[in-house]
Structures are given as C-alpha cells and as structure tokens.
C-alpha cells in the first residue's frame, strides 16, 4: 500500500492509509519539480538586499530584525528548537503520522520554498516508521500547530526523541542512523515552512471523520435493534415521511434502520400489552438525530477536503507563468475553518450519545420496556442485570456534554500581541478524539442491552407460546456479538469484560459488517 504525493493535495482516505495503516509515501515527479521551482524563487530572494519574512528576518513579533546570510542557517535551526516546547503526555502515533504526512503534502504543493531534499527526508522518516514524540499541549491553532510540528521537525534534524517502528522511544539521531537517513541542515525559510500549518488539527479531523462515519451507521443498527426489543413500530421509517423533510442524513439513517428491521417478528406489537399511539421520542426520532449528525459530518468532510487541497504556510511562494515568482505573507494558517467543524462534530457526538442512553434506559425500566424484566436481569432483586452498565453509559454522556463546549470560542493572545487572535483548533481536535472514544462506548452499551433484550423476547412467553423473533439482520448481529465475546442473557457476572468486548465489536466495525451480511451495504 502506498500513496503518491503530487502538488494538488490528497484525499481523506490517503490520510487514514498513511496515519493508521502505515501506507508508504512517494513523491511524484510533478511534486519534485514544483519543489525545485519554488526553491529557486527563495534562493533568488535570499541573495537580494531586501528583507523577506521567513527568509531573511526573524519571526512573529521579532520579524523587524534583518538577519544576515551568516546567521540564517542558525535562525532556521533555532526556530525548530525553541518552538519544540510541548508539554504533557505523548500524542497518539496515528495523529503524529497524520500531522507529518499533511505537512509533507503542503511541502509537495510547491508553495513553501523548501528544497526537494527536505520533503524527501520527511517521506523517508514516515516510511521508516519513525514517529516523533509530540506532546499534548503547545498549539493554539494559529500560525499553525507550531509546537507539535516543531517536535516533528526536530526529529528531521536528528534531535529530540522519537518512537521506532518497534514502539521503543529512542534518541532521534539513533533512529535516523539505524535507517540510513541523514539529519537535515536547514536553509532559508525551511525551518519556518516545517512548522507553519494546521496539519495536526486537520489530521485529527480526518481520522474523526472516518471513525464517526462508522459510528453513525453503528448507531442506526443499535437503534433498530432497540426498536425491535421495545416492540416499536417501523412505520415511522417510511421513505415518504422523510422525503417531506429532505435532510439527506435523516433519509440515510431511516433507510439503514428499515434494512435492519426487514423481516422482523417484533415490530408492530406495540398495541399488545398497552395501547401506544406513538413510540417515545428516543425511538421514533432516531433517524432525525443520527441523521443530523450525518449532515454535520458531511459538512465537516467538505471543510476537510478543502484543507486537504490547500497549501497552508506563511509566507507562501507564488509562481508566475514566466518561471519567476514572489513570496507573500498571508493568514491562511489560521485554524478557524477546521476548529469550527471540530467543535460542531463534538456537539453532534454528545447529542447522539444522549439519545442512545435514553433508549438504553427505556430497555431497562420495567415500566417502559413493555414486558421486559427489570434491568434485563435473570432474577430481578437477586440479579441487578445491566443496572450499572447504564450508570457507566450515563457517566460517558455527561463527559460528552462537557466535551461539547466549544474550544473555538476561546482566544488567548500570544507573541507580544502580534498573534492576537487564535483558533484553539488543536484543543478542539483533542477533545473530539476523546468524544469519539466515549461515543463508541455509549453505542456499545446500547447494543449490549438491545441484544440481551432481543434474546429475552425470543424466549417462550409461556408453555406452548413461542417467543417473538427479531429480523434476520438482528439475529446476525446477536450471533456475531456472541462470537466476539459479548455474552448473552443470564445471571449476574463480572460485567466489565462483556462491555469491553461490545466496545471492540463496535470500534472494529464488526457490528456494521455483521448487519451488512444480511442487509447489504449500509450508508
């Protein structure tokens, strides 16, 4: 598996392939030509008498100082060293790989002015499986993800620490030497170009988009199983009802649920035990809530795709048709477009988790579950069933609500008021990663409760009276969950392993694959 980088950008799938699956990176001939052309512009400006930001001046509030040629290599090396000032725990390997790959993507655009050797060194580090140690705190999401990118650039210089392909943290110089990679000696503008981008927050947005796409489908499946277990009606999923409120995500979620519920022997029994004109909101409005999350995700993907086609740096090299060019300062490094959608997705994740938890609570409450035992316990009173699983789920929902508070509404001035408005996009991205993990667990608890409830529905209601059978898709999900270690109904036992198995079943995509074996592709 490999990804070829050209001047025009990359896809979301490319980022996931490199960051998460270790795909190799290759620089195309057009990318190398673009790099060389932009470098000629920088070299010409460096040889001239006029001060040019990033080439022959200091940085940020120190840009007023003109730097003579004899100090420029030191200037570029120093910006990397001084800006590698992160603190806190190490950031996940896949995030750091995404960060480096996206910075390399911008280098390959031919707008940064670095030499081809710089891009080649970054590709070599990625392909060697060397992952710089990047710390949790240090980015304000403006002037790029400065500290995180600086820690990556430090590895290219053979300084600092990095994680080898075996997971062991060692001095970067040792790892480069072990893989035959020469440390870089930076020239004009190159240190700045390695630091000045929104690559960390964009990388985390891209990974979250992949995870949330799977989670929204998983939530549709779990909601359908809960509807079955509560003897709800699938009439609310009729296509014509969703056509008259034409939100695409809503229609997709309703279509997924219809497929999962096809052939069910449980739906439509809502009049048997007590008259019910309508199901509760948490059941009836599932497509509207999950669908709104889907539409939020579609907007976030649009923003991500625009960023993946962008060249984010300051200053940038702009080439002219005659082969010349100029270097211009700009504000494209500001993370606001990415920060907003990161926060928006955290809100959608929190609300989806909230409705999942309400459905779970309904399954466990004998007054609202239409004939299911309290807490789905084998012997209520002696057994507590899933009582505390719902507590855990509620705690996760509470955490998700706190994580939904926008980071992008904040701004703290920096660099002696030169950088007086920042995006906080890195912070938005970090909390979204936590939110995605929490949502995975919330969906897993609903799935666990729903599969247990379906087993109880299928049990004979009385001698000679067979139970109610779920549809083929639900049966496939129950069977696959049991095979994955998510144990079924029975007397109380150590519950945490079952919940962990359910979480992995959702996170790995096992839930979606099990349903699709019956339904065909779900969206």
- 295 and 183 in a common domain: no
Average pLDDT over residues 164-188: 97
Domain membership of residue 420 (yes or no) is no
- 135 and 216 in a common domain: no
Structural domain containing residue 173 = 2-197
Domain membership of residue 89 (yes or no) is yes
| 309, two tokens | 């086609």
- 214 and 177 in a common domain: no
Please state whether beta strands 24-27 and 131-132 pair in parallel, antiparallel, or not at all (unpaired): unpaired
**pLDDT, tens digit, for every residue of 235-250?**
999 999 999 999 999 9
| 205, two tokens | 């947005």
Domain boundary among 164, 197, 230: 197
**pLDDT, tens digit, for every residue of 194-218?**
999 999 999 999 999 999 999 999 9
Active site residues: 53
**pLDDT, tens digit, for every residue of 241-287?**
999 999 999 999 999 999 999 999 999 765 555 567 789 999 999 99
Domain membership of residue 419 (yes or no) is no
The total domain count for the chain is 2
Average pLDDT over residues 105-126: 97
- The reported pLDDT for the residue numbered 173 is 98
pLDDT band at 420 (very low <50, low <70, confident <90, very high): confident
What CATH code is carried by the domain that includes residue 108?
1.10.275.10
Domain membership of residue 475 (yes or no) is yes
- The reported pLDDT for the residue numbered 271 is 55
The residue that leads in pLDDT, 436 or 321, is: 436
Domain membership of residue 148 (yes or no) is yes
SS3 285: coil
| Alpha helices, DSSP H, located in 365-386 | none
Least confident of 88-92, 249-253, 369-373: 369-373
- 211 and 189 in a common domain: no
- The reported pLDDT for the residue numbered 335 is 95
Cis peptide before 69 (omega within 30 of 0): no
- 374 and 289 in a common domain: yes
**How far apart are the C-alpha atoms of 490 and 326, rounded to whole Å?**
72
What CATH code is carried by the domain that includes residue 408?
1.20.200.10
| 200, two tokens | 């960390």
- The reported pLDDT for the residue numbered 369 is 95
- The reported pLDDT for the residue numbered 519 is 98
| Residue in 149, 107, 115, 97 with CA at minimum distance from that of residue 39 | 115
- The reported pLDDT for the residue numbered 350 is 98
Domain boundary among 197, 223, 258: 197
pLDDT at 172 over 80: yes
- The reported pLDDT for the residue numbered 268 is 77
Domain boundary among 143, 162, 197: 197
pLDDT at 56 over 90: no
CA angle 331, 155, 67 (to 5 degrees): 50
Domain membership of residue 230 (yes or no) is yes
| 424, two tokens | 């906080």
The residue that leads in pLDDT, 91 or 69, is: 91
Least confident of 88-92, 96-100, 440-444, 466-470: 466-470
- 233 and 169 in a common domain: no
Where does residue 87 rank: exposed (0-12), middle (13-18), buried (19+ CB within 10 A)?
Answer: exposed
Task: Say what angle helices 472-483 and 496-507 make with each other, to 10 degrees.
Answer: 120
pLDDT at 382 over 80: yes
- The reported pLDDT for the residue numbered 460 is 77
Average pLDDT over residues 53-57: 83
pLDDT band at 416 (very low <50, low <70, confident <90, very high): confident
| 175, two tokens | 């790892």
- The reported pLDDT for the residue numbered 138 is 94
CB 196 within 8 A of CB 312: yes
- 111 and 74 in a common domain: yes
pLDDT band at 461 (very low <50, low <70, confident <90, very high): low
Average pLDDT over residues 328-344: 95
- 111 and 31 in a common domain: yes
- The reported pLDDT for the residue numbered 396 is 98
Listed in sequence order, the residues at least 6 apart from 338 whose beta carbon sits closer than 8 Å to its beta carbon are 141, 198, 201, 202, 205, 303, 304, 307, 423, 425, 428, 429
- The reported pLDDT for the residue numbered 171 is 98
Please state whether beta strands 161-163 and 131-132 pair in parallel, antiparallel, or not at all (unpaired): antiparallel
Domain membership of residue 16 (yes or no) is yes
CB 339 within 8 A of CB 407: yes
| 196, two tokens | 């000045």
- 258 and 158 in a common domain: no
pLDDT band at 124 (very low <50, low <70, confident <90, very high): very high
- 87 and 38 in a common domain: yes
Average pLDDT over residues 464-478: 88
> What H or E segment, with its residue span, contains residue 316?
strand 316-319
Listed in sequence order, the residues at least 6 apart from 316 whose beta carbon sits closer than 8 Å to its beta carbon are 111, 112, 327, 328, 330, 332
Burial 27-54, CB ≥16 within 10 A → b, else e: beeebbebbebbbebbbebbeeeeebbb
CB 332 within 8 A of CB 307: no
- 228 and 188 in a common domain: no
Average pLDDT over residues 162-170: 98
- 505 and 447 in a common domain: yes
């Amino acid at each position: 598996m490999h990804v070829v980088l050209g001047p025009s950008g990359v896809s979301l799938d490319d980022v996931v392939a490199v960051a998460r699956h270790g795909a190799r990176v290759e620089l195309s001939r057009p990318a190398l030509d673009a790099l060389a052309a932009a470098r000629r512009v920088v070299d010409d400006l460096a040889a001239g008498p006029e001060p040019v930001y990033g080439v022959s001046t200091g940085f940020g509030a120190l840009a007023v100082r003109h730097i003579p040629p004899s100090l420029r290599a030191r200037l570029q090396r120093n910006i990397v060293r001084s800006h590698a000032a992160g603190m806190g725990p190490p950031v996940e390997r896949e995030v750091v790989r995404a960060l480096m790959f996206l910075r390399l993507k911008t280098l390959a655009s031919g707008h940064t002015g670095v030499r081809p050797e710089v891009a080649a060194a970054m590709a070599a580090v990625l392909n060697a499986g060397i992952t710089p140690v990047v710390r949790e705190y240090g980015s304000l999401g403006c002037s790029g993800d400065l500290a995180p990118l600086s820690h990556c650039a430090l590895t290219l210089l053979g300084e600092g620490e990095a994680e080898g392909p075996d997971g062991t943290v060692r001095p970067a110089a040792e790892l480069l030497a072990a893989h035959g990679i020469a440390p870089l000696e930076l020239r004009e503008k190159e240190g700045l170009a390695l630091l000045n981008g929104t690559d960390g927050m964009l990388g985390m947005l891209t990974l979250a988009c992949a995870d949330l796409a799977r989670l929204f489908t998983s939530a549709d499946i779990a909601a359908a199983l809960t509807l079955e277990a509560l003897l709800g009606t699938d009439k609310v999923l009729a296509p014509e009802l969703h056509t008259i409120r034409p939100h695409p995500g809503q229609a997709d979620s309703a279509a997924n649920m219809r497929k999962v519920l096809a052939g069910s022997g449980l739906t439509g029994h809502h009049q048997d035990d007590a008259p019910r004109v309508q199901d509760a909101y948490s059941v009836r409005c599932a497509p509207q809530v999950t669908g709104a999350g889907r539409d939020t995700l579609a907007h976030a993907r649009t923003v991500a795709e625009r960023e993946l086609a962008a060249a984010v740096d300051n200053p940038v090299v702009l080439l002219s048709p005659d082969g010349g060019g100029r270097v211009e300062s700009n504000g494209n490094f500001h993370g606001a477009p990415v920060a907003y959608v990161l926060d928006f997705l955290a809100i959608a994740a929190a609300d989806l988790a909230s409705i999942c938890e309400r459905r779970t609570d309904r399954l466990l409450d004998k007054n609202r579950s239409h004939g299911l035992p309290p807490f789905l316990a084998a012997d209520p009173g002696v057994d507590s069933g899933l009582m505390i699983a719902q507590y855990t789920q509620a705690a996760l929902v509470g955490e998700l609500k706190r994580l939904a508070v926008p980071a992008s509404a904040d701004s703290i001035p920096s660099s002696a008021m030169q950088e007086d408005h920042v995006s906080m996009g890195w912070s938005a991205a970090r909390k979204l990663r936590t939110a995605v993990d929490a949502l995975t667990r919330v969906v897993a608890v609903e799935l666990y409760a729903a599969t247990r409830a379906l087993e109880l529905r299928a049990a004979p209601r009385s001698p000679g009276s067979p139970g109610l059978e779920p549809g083929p898709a639900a049966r496939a999900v129950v069977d696959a969950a049991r095979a994955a270690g998510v144990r079924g109904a029975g007397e109380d036992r150590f519950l945490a392993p079952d919940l962990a198995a359910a979480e992995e079943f959702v996170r790995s995509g096992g839930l979606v694959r099990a349903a699709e074996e019956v339904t065909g592709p779900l969206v």
